[in-house]
Amino acid sequence: MIKENLNLNDIVSKQFDKAAQHLGIHQGLLQQIKACNAVYFMQFPVKIGNRYEVFHAWRAEHSHHRKPVKGGIRFSEMVTQEEVMALAALMTYKCAVVDVPFGGAKGGINLNPKKYSEEELERITRRYTAELIQKEFIGPGTDVPAPDLGTGEREMAWIADTYDAFHPGGINNLACVTGKPVTQGGIHGRKEATGRGVFYGIREVLSHAEDLRRIGLSPGLEGKRVIVQGFGNVGYHSAKFLVEEGGCKIIGVSDISGGIYSLQGLDISKLVKHRAQRGTLLNFAGARNLSRPEQILELDCDILVPAALENQITLENAKRIRAKIVAEAANGPTTPRAEEILLKKGVLIIPDIYLNAGGVTVSYFEWGKNLSHMRYGRMQKRLEEIQTRNLLHSTEQLIQRNFSKKVMQQLAKGPDEIDIVNSGLEGTMIAAYRQIRETFNQSRRIEDLRTAAYAVAIKKIATTYMELGVFP
């Protein structure tokens, strides 16, 4: 059997090269765009119980063509330098695709967070942050982390507090990290942003009827059968919005505990409660347990959403994938050899560097909020309510009919922060996909959306370098 290279860094490099060959950009500039600019490896001791444990950690800054650099911090036993470098590169291209003015970065600590208490995780996180501060690998204008696998709002709050302690009086200190709790300078909508972005992205792809005819699907989300692999933050919110706002039917879900399947569809809210109570997805009422969690990828569906880890769809299982669309909510879930097989089968792949960019987009909004020191909507909400009410009163006089009090309240409501955030995210995802689609349709040599997305990103980054005078 042919062995497949599953090194994510090599995979991202290969995907870059595949797109770059179509662009006519100077080879030296391509090498600069592709290279990881800086990697910081650290090891530090933290007292765990009655002993000291040494932790290995990294922070990679892939590209400084725009500043600050941006990327999550993950806590996982799978974290390696190669992985962090690859994910930092993906962040660079992802930011470029959605026109977020950051370079890409990524960080991680090699540990299993489930093995440590909250107090121990706090000490580890704060020590890691102190290491980053010493080498200036964190700061509002230099490098801005965010949550990733194994981390969340809690860890980001610890990071922000540690940074503030090292920089007393810094008025922009909260902008050193995003994904914080709203009460600690975070932004409404950040927690669910990646999943909501996945929903907006899939919805936009399914709005183009002529593209869907090739794969035998009707336009629109209503009634589409969806399977979600991975039921963490991204997988859960993707499923939630696809059902509640798209009218999809989630027929299969899996996580590390196992997989379940039901042709009648799964109630996502009840499933969340079931897992919270029992610690597993298995034995959910009305659903069938799968013998192997990875079996979820091979079930018949319209849309498969891999929302777990990289290298999930590989040369080994690609021929058994029966989805018409693979929507990559995770980073790097499909290997190049697997992608070749899927494309030959006519599967439409929505690439990760576009589809899971919702998180960094809303992180950009949070960063801007922290620098402006003003909640979105605060200045204009009441003004817009008054203007809309005046317009509605004029309409009532024109049609000689009064709106009900409930309708008037609904129509006249000014935008809250969450409304502005969701509107900005929706517009970003729509505009980004249309750029990718235009590139795909205009080039006879680009044969898939991933290559088109990379081409869009590389051209934007190359333009930035040339405008800076780094490359004439």
- Could you read off the pLDDT of 387-414 as tens digits, one per residue? 878 887 788 788 888 888 887 787 778 7
Element (H, E) at 227: strand 225-229
Question: Can you read off the two tokens belonging to residue 138?
Answer: 């964190």
pLDDT value of position 203: 98
- The model's confidence at residue 4, banded by pLDDT at 50, 70 and 90, is confident
CA–CA distance from 312 to each of 79, 119, 183, 286, 335 (Å)? 16, 33, 36, 27, 8
Task: Identify whether the C-beta of residue 131 lies closer than 8 Å to the C-beta of residue 162.
Answer: no
CB-count burial class (<10 Å; 0-12, 13-18, 19+) for 168: exposed
pLDDT value of position 153: 96
Task: Region of 283 please: left (phi>0), alpha (psi -120 to 50) or beta.
Answer: left
Does residue 106 have an active-site annotation? yes
pLDDT value of position 395: 84
User: How far is the C-alpha of 433 from the C-alpha of 137, rounded, in Å?
Assistant: 32
Measure the CA dihedral 332/336/337/340, to 10°: 110
Whether 94 has a pLDDT exceeding 70, the answer reads yes
pTM: 0.92
pLDDT value of position 409: 80
User: How far is the C-alpha of 391 from the C-alpha of 388, rounded, in Å?
Assistant: 5
Task: Identify whether the C-beta of residue 73 lies closer than 8 Å to the C-beta of residue 48.
Answer: no
Mean pLDDT (the chain, rounded): 93
Question: Can you read off the two tokens belonging to residue 258?
Answer: 């196992």
Q: Give the best-scoring range by mean pLDDT among 7-16, 379-388, 429-438.
A: 429-438
- What does the pLDDT average to over 332-347? 94
Domains annotated on the chain, with CATH: 39-184 (3.40.50.10860), 193-358 (3.40.50.720)
pLDDT value of position 472: 63
In the chain, what percentage of residues exceed pLDDT 70?
99
Task: Identify whether the C-beta of residue 453 lies closer than 8 Å to the C-beta of residue 97.
Answer: yes
Exactly one of 34, 70, 94, 106 is catalytic; name it.
Answer: 106
229-274 tens-digit pLDDT: 999 999 999 999 999 999 999 999 999 889 999 999 999 999 999 9
User: How far is the C-alpha of 427 from the C-alpha of 134, rounded, in Å?
Assistant: 38
pLDDT value of position 408: 77
The residue with greater pLDDT, 6 or 193, is 193
- What does the pLDDT average to over 347-360? 96
DSSP-derived letter for residue 149 is T
Q: How many CB atoms lie within 10 A of CB 136?
A: 10
Question: Can you read off the two tokens belonging to residue 397?
Answer: 């006089």
Whether 1 has a pLDDT exceeding 60, the answer reads no
Task: Identify whether the C-beta of residue 189 lies closer than 8 Å to the C-beta of residue 196.
Answer: yes
pLDDT value of position 117: 96
User: How far is the C-alpha of 87 from the C-alpha of 71, rounded, in Å?
Assistant: 8
